[in-house]
Structure 1
Amino acid sequence: MNRPQDHLAEQDNVRRVDDVTSALEGLVTVLGQEEDLSVVLRRACLQAVQAVPDADLASITLVRDGGHYTATSTGDAANRIDQAQYDAGQGPCLEAARTGTVQRVEVSEVARRWPEFTAAAGAAAVVSYLSAPLFIDTEYQGSLNLYGAGGDGFGALDAALLELYTTAAEAALRGARRYVSARETVGRLRTALTSRAVIDQAKGMLMAMHRVSADQAFDLLVKRSQEQNVKLREVAEWFVADVLNA
């Protein structure tokens, strides 16, 4: 027979899972409305606090060119804790990014494992740390970090919830990155096609005006481009405009 406390614990677990689901739904909504990855990362950071109610602060650490930086956070306190880890070259967020494993540690264990970080953090009012690896693609990777300022610290369920949230968020962020990349590729192709069209138009005009071959007309455009130190497309655009406005 279930005891009342067992029933309460079950209800609490269900509520926590619902919190994660709600946070992910909020993130998906943003992905449908926003294309700027920095904005999406910020919302993912804010939603992480909702996904893990024991968290008081949150941040996202990214690795770039061998260094680390905080892409977004819930406030200056989280930034300072992150920076203390970067300065010391050690700490839970760096360990999560480096090893690809969730780091759940209490302040006493942090002092033992990473004393230089503890010294750099100074009087940071944090009693527990929880960091999960975050891998979007080869350009964007790091960790999602939660800091608890009170209570009993992060439990195993908190770690499982953060890992669940981070895994789903990674998939959503990868989708956003692919969309942005595809849009940029289409833009470059459109520019290339437009450039090709105006260059071909300029070549046709030169061929008709000077009775030269396509190769000779192209060489004339290249020569003008080199003389004026401007892009070939711009030379073609100017030439076409001059002819049409003459």
Structure 2
Amino acid sequence: MAHRRIGIDLMEKISGVVRTSEELDSYVQDVCAVALNHFPACQGVALYLVLNGGMRPVGFTTRRESDEVAYLDPNDDECIANLRRPVKLAAVDRVRGSWPGFADFMDRQGFGTVLSVPLVVEDTLIGNMGLYAASPDDFDEVDVAVAGAAAQVCADTVAAALEIIDARGLAEQLETAMESRAAIEQAKGIIMALRGVTEDRAFEILRKSSQDRNIKVRTLAEQIVSGAVDLSSASSRR
């Protein structure tokens, strides 16, 4: 009964109505964060959507400090066949032969397995949700069932959104948003390390500095990551 209640709570949290590309970007990030928090053993969550004929990463979150996300090959027939399967647990060693790049990503992240859950609407694959963990034993049968139900809710929401949103340029918008978040996360990490401040304080410094320079937060973040701007002290303005 407790598992059922928890599952219902998860469904409620990821249900919603999405009408714009900005709302879709926010929604996929929320789904990743909610899923990560729901499954205690889960170490990372990635969400992919089929856009412009390709399987593209649109959301990723992890319990570790990382902005890397695995790219799946949309032209790989075996890859697509696996992504269509109802729910599949795959250990990293089992995917190494078919997807060496994906296996290398899992190795770097310290993931030992991925619970792959397709997003399917009316027998059409529109995406995939990957739940990453250290070991296949970290997910039990209830987790697998709940993940499948959550993926269906997500698929229905995304499919409804794609009927409203102009698909042209959507893939580029979502990828740009992901790149922006990655740069900001890296910049926050640099500021935290240099100044010894919390994550929230690091973002405040980043936001205030971008306002002082009259540039976007993402632009300043990219400059910090590249070394063009030094925010190691409050007086740094080069």
TM interval, shorter chain, is 0.5 to 0.7
Q: Matches of 1:38 and 1:144 in 2, distance apart?
A: 15
**2:11 aligned partner:** 24
TM-score norm. by structure 2 comes to 0.53
Q: Which moved more, 1:35-44 or 1:131-140?
A: 131-140
CA RMSD, 1 decimal: 3.8
**1:133 aligned partner:** 118
Deviation by residue 1:18-62 (Cα, 9 ceiling, x = unmatched):
22211221223xx25875222122212222223433312101112
**Which of 53, 57, 79 pairs up with 1:70?**
57
Verify: 1:43 aligned to 2:53, yes or no.
no
Deviation by residue 1:213-233 (Cα, 9 ceiling, x = unmatched):
xxxxxxxxxxxxxxxxxxxxx
Does structure 2 retain, via aligned residues, the 8 Å contact 1:24–1:165?
A: yes
What amino acid does structure 2 have at the position aligned with 1:24? M
Unaligned 5+ segments in structure 2 are 167-238
Q: Matches of 2:66 and 2:73 in 1, distance apart?
A: 12
Secondary structure of the corresponding residue to residue 82 of structure 1: coil
Does structure 2 retain, via aligned residues, the 8 Å contact 1:136–1:170?
A: yes
Q: Matches of 2:36 and 2:97 in 1, distance apart?
A: 27
**1:152 aligned partner:** 137
**2:146 aligned partner:** 161
**Which of 58, 68, 72 pairs up with 1:80?**
68
Does structure 2 retain, via aligned residues, the 8 Å contact 1:132–1:145?
A: yes
- With a CA cutoff of 8 Å and minimum separation of 6, indicate the structure with the bigger relative contact order: 2
Deviation by residue 1:148-188 (Cα, 9 ceiling, x = unmatched):
1358332333221110111123233344455x469xxxxxx
Identical-pair percentage:
18
Secondary structure of the corresponding residue to residue 163 of structure 1: helix
Instruction: Quote the offset at 1:104 in angstroms.
Output: 0.9
TM-score norm. by structure 1 comes to 0.52
| C-alpha distance 15-139 of structure 1, shift in aligned 2 (>3 A) | same
Q: Matches of 1:87 and 1:174 in 2, distance apart?
A: 19
Q: Which moved more, 1:115-124 or 1:127-136?
A: 115-124
| C-alpha distance 122-50 of structure 1, shift in aligned 2 (>3 A) | closer
Q: Which moved more, 1:155-164 or 1:42-51?
A: 42-51
Unaligned 5+ segments in structure 1 are 1-13, 183-246
Verify: 1:107 aligned to 2:92, yes or no.
yes
Secondary structure of the corresponding residue to residue 129 of structure 2: strand
What amino acid does structure 1 have at the position aligned with 2:149? L
Structure of greater Rg: 1
Q: Which moved more, 1:35-44 or 1:115-124?
A: 115-124
What amino acid does structure 1 have at the position aligned with 2:68? R
Secondary structure of the corresponding residue to residue 74 of structure 1: strand
- Following superposition of structure 1 onto structure 2, how do residues 1-246 of structure 1 map, counting pairs within 5 Å? 14-28=1-15, 31=16, 35=20, 36-75=23-62, 80-83=68-71, 85-86=72-73, 89=76, 94-97=80-83, 99-111=84-96, 114-115=99-100, 117-119=102-104, 121-135=106-120, 141-149=126-134, 152-178=137-163, 180=164
Q: Matches of 2:2 and 2:161 in 1, distance apart?
A: 29
| C-alpha distance 79-59 of structure 1, shift in aligned 2 (>3 A) | farther
